Structure 1
């Protein structure tokens, strides 16, 4: 298994954990952040690429930058990949690529949410700890 599918699978598992753990709250350090670039790309085959920057400090578990995008009035969003984060206090770039299912995204205005989230193994079951969240309107352009 290559690294990218493994990271995407880990990010997908993290999203499932988020759904199963609604009582988890954010304890973000004020020096930690995640940004979203104002322009994303969408290829002819529907593959979406989103990007931005992040900054985080070391934790006890793996940290990921996950992203989602939506264009519908009902607020439906599609998960677009996950990237393993390096939490050393420095600013780093992130880029996630994935296909929306169903494939209903098109070039134009969209809303993106990026989350910097750690899977903490404190209780044996990895639970999410949010380092930073950013929501932003973007433009999806043809790749």
Structure 2
């Protein structure tokens, strides 16, 4: 199995766990935001962006994002990237084609997450730095 889907599945499962546990997962000084407008390219690629701030990463930290339109139970991953946890504010941008349902212009819900994979023995366990769930508008480019 390719590594990318495995990492995406692990981060998604960890995000669900953090959502169930609540704010105790993240330091309140760490934050991730989502810009109010996302873009849809003519080829169907979705681009989401925002900013983040985190500190104290001991393992690799990733910025992930997912999108839902209509049925809020169906979330589709939109790219991901590496984050820099140095206490400064940084911009993030994720792009990707969603597979299950073609995105359309209009209202959408985006979840963005800063997740660190911390070494614990022979395993890497997810630790959340920040999570947000926000309404956005998708616009055609």
Change (3 A) 1:74 1:94: closer
Paired residue secondary structure (2:120):
coil
Question: Which residue pairs with 1:100 in the alignment?
Answer: 98
Paired residue secondary structure (1:54):
strand
TM-superposed deviation, 1:108: 0.7
TM-superposed deviation, 1:20: 7.9
Paired residue secondary structure (1:126):
strand
Structure 1: runs of 5+ lacking an equivalent: 1-5
CA contact (8 A) 1:46 1:103 kept: no
Change (3 A) 1:141 1:75: same
User: Within 2, Cα distance between the matches of 1:40 and 1:54?
Assistant: 17
Question: Which residue pairs with 2:9 in the alignment?
Answer: 16
CA contact (8 A) 2:48 2:93 kept: yes
Aligned length: 134
Paired residue secondary structure (1:133):
strand
CA contact (8 A) 1:116 1:133 kept: yes
User: TM (normalized to structure 1)?
Assistant: 0.85
Question: Which residue pairs with 1:3 in the alignment?
Answer: none
The two structures, once aligned, show a CA RMSD in angstroms of 2.1
Question: Which residue pairs with 2:80 in the alignment?
Answer: 82
TM-superposed deviation, 1:21: 9.6
Question: Which residue pairs with 2:108 in the alignment?
Answer: 110
TM-superposed deviation, 1:14: 2.9
User: TM (normalized to structure 2)?
Assistant: 0.86
CA contact (8 A) 1:14 1:119 kept: no
Question: Which residue pairs with 2:120 in the alignment?
Answer: 122
CA contact (8 A) 1:17 1:127 kept: no
Structure 2: runs of 5+ lacking an equivalent: none
Change (3 A) 1:86 1:101: same
TM-superposed deviation, 1:75: 2.6
